């Protein structure tokens, strides 16, 4: 273990974070992931109103990953109580909204308990929220600025479903972001040939897991070249080698999502590979592949 590190203004126990959405719906499950070796945790995205989410099926396995259309289910302000017991822990609260005012309001509820915020401007299947904002540089800038006014670190999680992710990353940076998280899920769908209908209740959704790892590496690579703030890699990371690869592309830390669904002990497993005797010194490899 590296001892305490700071990434994007947030002190972490190591370079591995629980990604938003996965097991982030209760304080108990977030606490459990920290005890199981996560260096920090990101909550399920919280919005301005309680939301039941999309009708099912919401989560299906597919080759190389998971396909989801949860539909931003969350208890809104009620969630404040969930993370109160974790106010001394590295908890980053993921938030969403339809405009800068929404983002600022939701962030305000957590200003006393969160260590930082992750702006979800990248859900691929949320009408009016998510990618509708995250593909508009001006909106990203304004939402980031609005949340940054609370004085806590702001991470902005980007969608890979754009032609040029660097334009969005630069907008977040200009708005005062402390870090960029790349990436959210890749827009995708499957159809059951037997049932003759899409497998997801919402029809299409977002793909995560191994299948999107190369997509995420490329996004991290491009953002590292364009931006000056730290990049946090996310998308299909499941091994220590994946973490090293993300770091060589430019990530200072990584988030792990789908791999946790398969094995809640994945943080211990990755940390063993990453920090054992012949492991690499993380900071020394960030971006090295750019100089090759
Ligand atoms: O809840 C979801 O359906 C969801 C969200 Br908010 C997101 O950001 N990314 C995703 O794949 N699913």
Mean per-residue pLDDT, 207-215 = 98
Strand pairing report for 40-42 and 16-18: parallel
For residue 157, the ligand 1 atom closest to its alpha carbon is: 8
Query: How many Å lie between the centroid of ligand 1 and the Cα of residue 276?
Result: 34
- Pocket test of ligand 1: the residue of 25, 45, 209 to mutate, having most ligand atoms within 8 Å of its CB, is 45
Nearest alpha-carbon partner for 168 in 223, 213, 98: 223
The yes-or-no verdict on residue 271 having pLDDT over 70 is yes
Report d(CA 137, CA 174) in Å as an integer: 10
123 annotated active-site = yes
Determine the structural domain holding residue 220 and report its residue range: 5-291
Model pLDDT, residue 23: 87
Mean per-residue pLDDT, 139-148 = 98
- Residues 27-72: tens digit of each pLDDT: 999 999 999 999 999 999 999 999 999 999 999 999 999 999 999 9
Our CA angle for 232, 235, 240, nearest 5°, is 75
Model pLDDT, residue 131: 82
Band of the pLDDT at 130, cuts 50, 70, 90?
A: confident
Q: Which residues line ligand 1 (CB under 6 A)?
A: 21, 45, 68-72, 120, 122-123, 184-185, 206
Q: Label residues 270-280 b or e (16+ Cβ within 10 Å = b).
A: bbeebbeeeee
- 58 within 8 A of 10, measured Cβ to Cβ: no
The yes-or-no verdict on residue 277 having pLDDT over 80 is no
Mean per-residue pLDDT, 205-223 = 98
What is the residue-averaged pLDDT of the chain? 96
Direct distance between the N- and C-terminal alpha carbons of the chain, in angstroms, rounded to an integer:
28
Beta carbons within 10 angstroms of residue 203's beta carbon: 13
Residue nearest to atom 9 of ligand 1 (CA): 123
Query: What is the distance of C-alpha 124 from the center of its chain?
Result: 13
Q: Is there a binding annotation on residue 21?
A: no
For residue 206, the ligand 1 atom closest to its alpha carbon is: 11
Model pLDDT, residue 282: 83
Beta carbons within 10 angstroms of residue 234's beta carbon: 31
Domain count, the chain: 1
Q: Give the C-alpha distances (Å, rounded to integers) separating 253 from 5, 50, 84, 103, 232.
A: 10, 31, 25, 24, 5
Residue nearest to atom 8 of ligand 1 (CA): 123
Query: How many Å lie between the centroid of ligand 1 and the Cα of residue 207?
Result: 10
pTM: 0.97
Mean per-residue pLDDT, 285-291 = 96
Model pLDDT, residue 197: 98
- Residues 67-92: tens digit of each pLDDT: 999 999 999 999 999 999 999 999 99
The yes-or-no verdict on residue 279 having pLDDT over 90 is no
Residue nearest to atom 1 of ligand 1 (CA): 72
CATH of the domain at 272: 3.20.20.70
Pick from 56-65, 157-166, 240-249, 276-285: least confident? 276-285
Model pLDDT, residue 221: 98
Query: How many Å lie between the centroid of ligand 1 and the Cα of residue 182?
Result: 14
Structure-token pair, residue 86: 């974790």
Report d(CA 76, CA 78) in Å as an integer: 6
Q: Is there a binding annotation on residue 9?
A: no
Q: Is there a binding annotation on residue 238?
A: no
- Percent of the chain exceeding pLDDT 90 equals 91
Helix orientation angle between 266-275 and 240-249, rounded to the nearest 10 degrees? 60
Query: What is the distance of C-alpha 285 from the center of its chain?
Result: 22
Query: How many Å lie between the centroid of ligand 1 and the Cα of residue 173?
Result: 23
Report d(CA 20, CA 29) in Å as an integer: 12
Our CA angle for 109, 42, 180, nearest 5°, is 95
């Amino acid at each position: 273990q590296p001892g305490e590190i700071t990434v994007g203004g947030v002190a972490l126990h190591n370079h591995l974070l629980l990604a938003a959405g996965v097991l982030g719906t209760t304080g108990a499950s977030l606490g459990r992931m920290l005890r199981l070796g996560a260096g920090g945790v990101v909550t399920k995205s919280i919005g301005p109103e309680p939301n039941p989410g999309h009708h099912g099926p919401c989560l299906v396995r597919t080759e190389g990953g998971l396909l989801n259309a949860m539909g931003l289910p969350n208890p809104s302000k009620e969630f404040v109580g969930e993370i109160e017991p974790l106010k001394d822990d590295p908890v980053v609260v993921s938030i969403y909204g339809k405009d800068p005012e929404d983002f600022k309001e939701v962030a305000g509820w957590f200003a006393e308990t969160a260590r930082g915020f992750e702006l979800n401007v990248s859900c691929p299947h949320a009408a009016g929220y998510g990618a509708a904002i995250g593909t508009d540089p001006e909106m990203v800038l304004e939402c980031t600025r609005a949340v940054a006014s609370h004085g806590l670190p702001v991470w902005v999680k980007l969608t890979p479903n754009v032609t040029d992710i660097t334009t969005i990353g630069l907008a977040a940076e200009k708005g005062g972001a402390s870090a960029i998280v790349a990436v959210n899920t890749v827009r995708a769908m499957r159809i059951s040939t037997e049932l003759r209908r899409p497998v997801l209740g919402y029809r299409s959704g977002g793909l995560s897991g191994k299948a999107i790892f190369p997509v995420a590496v490329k996004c991290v690579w491009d953002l590292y070249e364009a931006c000056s703030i730290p990049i946090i890699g996310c998308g299909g990371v499941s091994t220590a080698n994946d973490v090293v690869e993300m770091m060589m592309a430019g990530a200072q830390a990584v988030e792990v999502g789908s791999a946790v669904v398969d094995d809640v002990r994945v943080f211990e497993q990755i940390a063993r590979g990453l920090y054992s005797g012949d492991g690499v010194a993380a900071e020394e490899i960030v971006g090295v592949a750019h100089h090759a």
